[in-house]
Amino acid sequence: MTDRAEKPRLAVFKFTSCSGCQLPFLNMETEILDLAESIEVAYFAMAGASQPGPYDLAFVEGGISCQEDARRIRKVREESRILVAIGNCAVYGGPQALRNFLPLEELKRAVYPQPELIHCFPTCQGIADYVSVDGFLNGCPVDHGHLQDYIVSVMLGKAPEVSTRSVCLECKMKENVCLIVAEGVACMGVLTGSGCGALCPSFDRGCYGCFGPSADPNLKSFANLCRELGLTEEEIHRKFRYIVNNAEAFREEAERHVPQPVES
């Protein structure tokens, strides 16, 4: 109803990340043809597009880990009407944010033969720590259905809606047998936002929390549940110091279980 005369310009950027959040765009095989009709992919390095800005809708994958990242994200923000953080790294800093909890110099020396060549910030953060962000799509990687809904909403001129229900609902809709109830596995699905289709529980692995905290996570109750299932404080700590370690709720819960830093 609010058809645009020109096609909106889409951009996809990568920062400190694995590139996995760009793949859902490329994996939208049938939809991608329709997408090309209605939207202009102006910048998407992985897909070979590299036109300069401005852009109407920019998706950013990756966290901000170094000076170069910080400079580039500010430029992307200036050039983009709508900026959306996609995936764990852009939203929360990613698995690599685990280094936020360790002294940087020690870490560099442990990993690199010439640590003096490594220049980076002491922490890796999500992009909202550096620029204002218009939308957040969690995931590791982001769900292509969420991307699709977001793009269509912008094209139709309506504000996108993103829901954060728990993974449990996805498990139930697939008729999975609950791992907590039936097998005593401390599955984080009760705390985690939906979007992956309950992928890991469908293969009998407890959820790892990739999509970050759901809308109203009951961390205290989950910690009690873990204890009842026989986990030690150390093991509970590690559950929250994992893929989405830098989401506030998970970060704070990890701190409640092991006051001292983990040995590397």
Partner 1 sequence: MVLQGQAGENAVVGRDAFDEILARLQERGYAVYGTVNEKGTGIFRPLGGAGELSLRCTGGTLPPKYLWYPPSETMFTYDRQSGALRSEIEPVKQAVFGIRPCDVHALLALDEVFLGGDYPDPYYRARREDLPLVVFNCVESGDTCFCSSMGTGPGLDHDYDLLITELDRPGRFLLEVGSGLGGELVRDLRAEVARDEDYQVKHRRLEDAAANARTTLETEDLPRLMSEGHGHPYWREISDKCFGCANCTSVCPTCYCADIFDETDFSLTETRRKRRWSWCFLMEFGAVHGGNFRERRIDRLRQFMQHKLNFSVGQYGRFHCVGCGRCIVWCPANIDIAQTGRTIRGDA
Partner 2 sequence: MPPDCTCQNPLVPSIVKVVEIVDETYDIKNFYVATDQGIPFEVLPGQLCMVSLLPVGEGMFSVTWQAEDHLQFAIRRVGLLTDALHEIEIGQELGIRGPYGNGFPVRQCEGKNMLFIGGGIGLAPLRSFIKHCFRRRKRYGQIQVLYGARSVADLCFKQELSVEWPAQPETRIFTTIDRPEADWDGKVAFVPAYLEELAPDPENTVAVVCGPPIMITLALKSLQKLGFKDDQVITTLEGRMKCGIGKCGRCNIGSEYICLDGPVFDLAHLRHLPPEW
State the nearest-atom distance from the C-beta of 112 to partner 1, in Å.
42
Q: Which is nearer to partner 1, 95 or 217 (CB)?
A: 217
Query: Contact with partner 1 (CB under 8 A): which of 6, 29, 37, 263?
Result: 37
Kindly identify the residues of this chain, within the stretch 106-165, that bind partner 1 according to CB under 8 A: 148, 151-152, 155-156, 161, 163-165
Residue ranges binding partner 2 (CB under 8 A): 1-2, 156-159, 161
Contact call for residue 199 and partner 1 (CB under 8 A): no
Give which of partner 2, partner 1, none residue 159 binds (C-beta under 5 to 8 Å, depending on kind): partner 2
User: Using the rule CB under 8 A, which residue among 5, 117, 159, 215 binds partner 1?
Assistant: 215
**Min CB(26)–partner 1 separation in Å:** 14
The reply to whether 216 sits near partner 1 by the rule CB under 8 A is yes
Question: Residue 160 or 206: which CB sits closer to partner 2?
Answer: 160
Q: Which stretch binds partner 1 (CB under 8 A): 33-41, 104-112, 122-130, 232-240?
A: 33-41
Binding mask 49-68 for partner 1 (x = CB under 8 A): --------------------
Write the CB contacts of 65 (distance below 8 Å, at least 6 apart in sequence): 15, 16, 96, 120, 121, 124
Q: What angle do CA 31, 36, 39 make, to 5 degrees?
A: 110
Binding site for partner 1 (CB under 8 A): 1, 3, 31, 34-35, 37-38, 148, 151-152, 155-156, 161, 163-166, 168-169, 172-173, 175-178, 180-182, 189-191, 214-218, 220-222, 224-225
